[in-house]
Structure 1
């Protein structure tokens, strides 16, 4: 950022993803508690948009509050609630819906005036599939039978993985893929990110005063922000890394990048991408299909320059190598060194 201006000062509302941004499973990410507290103290609005369908909004708010991040249920937008609302609008009241997922998804279906069921023989008119740690073969089998019998198939989200302290673990997208393979087709509807609905709903709360999306996944958080027409900040505390960023397609490219949530407040901890091909003391050239970095300066400026060159050439992952001692240090900081 230039002129010492804080990124957050340009926005009334900040919408956070949760897993990989605020917490990992049930542990707060360092600096997240302080960042949200600082936003509230400065008068900013805060919302949370999560594809994780294993908790209801009230449960997420309780979890956040227990971590030291005060939150109200109405500030939390979940893919489980969004999926239930979609089905409520499409189906008659008390319609049978086969639920593949956690108890939270079942509760949202019931709250929407629909009847959650477990077996295909109960003749469900729809199948809703969301993440649940106990989902197994028997649940997928019932869903397959129901969909083949004509039930509408709705997925809360298709995240391939979810972050954890042990690294990425299978997400709902992995289980959707299993059912897709068995059925030979895609779900009829995917509700969560990267579909824009969650972010569009949140953005309306800003009353046109500016909304920034903060996420850790290019294929859901950032692409969802792009589809919703909103600026986004990619933080490197979760799933997507710098190598993923350099290979990102146009529909999944963020507006800003920072190592963590400090980028909201510290102009030196965030960068707008892409930068210039030669800027901030850095230059990048493509040599033998390798991105070669030379110069010295702030690692984030090197990243912006790398994005400028990588995104202006045919898509795909390319190796990155340093052509100066300063570049070697920057690539280590960015996690791009061997």
Structure 2
């Protein structure tokens, strides 16, 4: 049974402590065609405080210039140089293994071709001679090309996958991601690819290299990609609650998926953070008391929404580490809304 990692304190605002914020995009900066509430003003204020922003994405289909254009259209400052994609990380992995001018099968979209060429490699079709193959999300990919790639990988062609995301948010709903293709190729070939995207290290390492970060902070909304990726890279993390992670996921988080800090949104970059005081499975912070009794998480008191989440997480993690089982979420563990003014009594003591 794993034990360990708990929330940390920061006496200064995170924007003053870290030199680069490595920001996941969907669920953190924007959701589809709209900016996440408070994201534009929070990021502008963080920049004014001297924090450099890097926008990182597992999506290998869109070139950095297109990603930056989308961010700017939502009222936030961004250039192509501020964006780092899993395609760029994949190209780095290949360039470090292969000689300049090596041919690489590109089983992805234009977002993969550009970084391959920038790295001095030659993208080729699936039937051409090559020293490696790289795969990425490509909705135009033909089944006959998938079949040919599967056989070549099984026969020993070196394989880099841009990411293993099983889903992505499409305009018509949650759709299969590149990870579905990776799983198909893996099961057929028996080969494990080198993965460039989160939670693997190459994307975060590529971002650190490009920004020359000395004290970076990974900011994300997903425990299994953003936060775990930060752990794998050995850097601190901030979980924002504007995306996919809710209380059920948070209380069940194992140590390698637990954030260093928690905030309702990107405004968490602009404030100091206090960690809860813990005794056994009881955690206290800012007027809240969280505890696990009879295997059920209970939170009482009043205070800010962020302190509620921090106390609840600390209590639940202590219980998980002690028992190996996640606490149940009962009627006495109702989170305040993200815009709560901090005056709501969540439960009686």
With the shorter chain as reference, the TM-score category is: 0.7 to 0.9
2:343 is aligned to none
2:74 is aligned to 67
Aligned partner of residue 198 in structure 2, secondary structure: coil
2:155 is aligned to 149
Q: Which whole-Å deviations, capped at 9, do the CAs of 1:213-245 have from their partners, x for residues lacking one?
A: 211111111112112222111112223322112
* Distance (whole Å) between structure 2 residues aligned to residue 273 and residue 98 of structure 1: 51
1:321 is aligned to 330
**1:171 to 2:177 alignment:** yes
* Distance (whole Å) between structure 2 residues aligned to residue 240 and residue 166 of structure 1: 21
For the Cα contact (< 8 Å) 2:40–2:76, is it kept in 1? yes
TM-score scaled to structure 2, two decimals? 0.81
Aligned partner of residue 61 in structure 1, secondary structure: helix
Q: CA deviation at 1:317?
A: 4.2
* Distance (whole Å) between structure 1 residues aligned to residue 99 and residue 179 of structure 2: 28
**1:221 to 2:226 alignment:** yes
* Structure 1 gaps, min length 5: none
For the Cα contact (< 8 Å) 2:101–2:121, is it kept in 1? yes
* Distance (whole Å) between structure 2 residues aligned to residue 129 and residue 101 of structure 1: 5
Alignment size in residue pairs? 325
For the Cα contact (< 8 Å) 2:292–2:327, is it kept in 1? no
2:267 is aligned to 262
* Structure 2 gaps, min length 5: 1-7, 340-349
For the Cα contact (< 8 Å) 1:216–1:237, is it kept in 2? yes
* Distance (whole Å) between structure 2 residues aligned to residue 274 and residue 100 of structure 1: 51
For the Cα contact (< 8 Å) 1:271–1:300, is it kept in 2? no
2:35 is aligned to 28
**Pairing partner for 2:100 from 93, 97, 110:** 93
TM-score scaled to structure 1, two decimals? 0.84
1:212 is aligned to 217
1:292 is aligned to 298
2:244 is aligned to 239
2:23 is aligned to 16
**1:41 to 2:56 alignment:** no
* Distance (whole Å) between structure 1 residues aligned to residue 100 and residue 9 of structure 2: 54
**1:78 to 2:78 alignment:** no
Aligned partner of residue 262 in structure 2, secondary structure: strand
For the Cα contact (< 8 Å) 1:274–1:307, is it kept in 2? no
* Distance (whole Å) between structure 2 residues aligned to residue 165 and residue 275 of structure 1: 43
- Cα pair distance change 1:41/1:83, threshold 3 Å: same
For the Cα contact (< 8 Å) 1:14–1:211, is it kept in 2? yes
Aligned partner of residue 69 in structure 1, secondary structure: coil
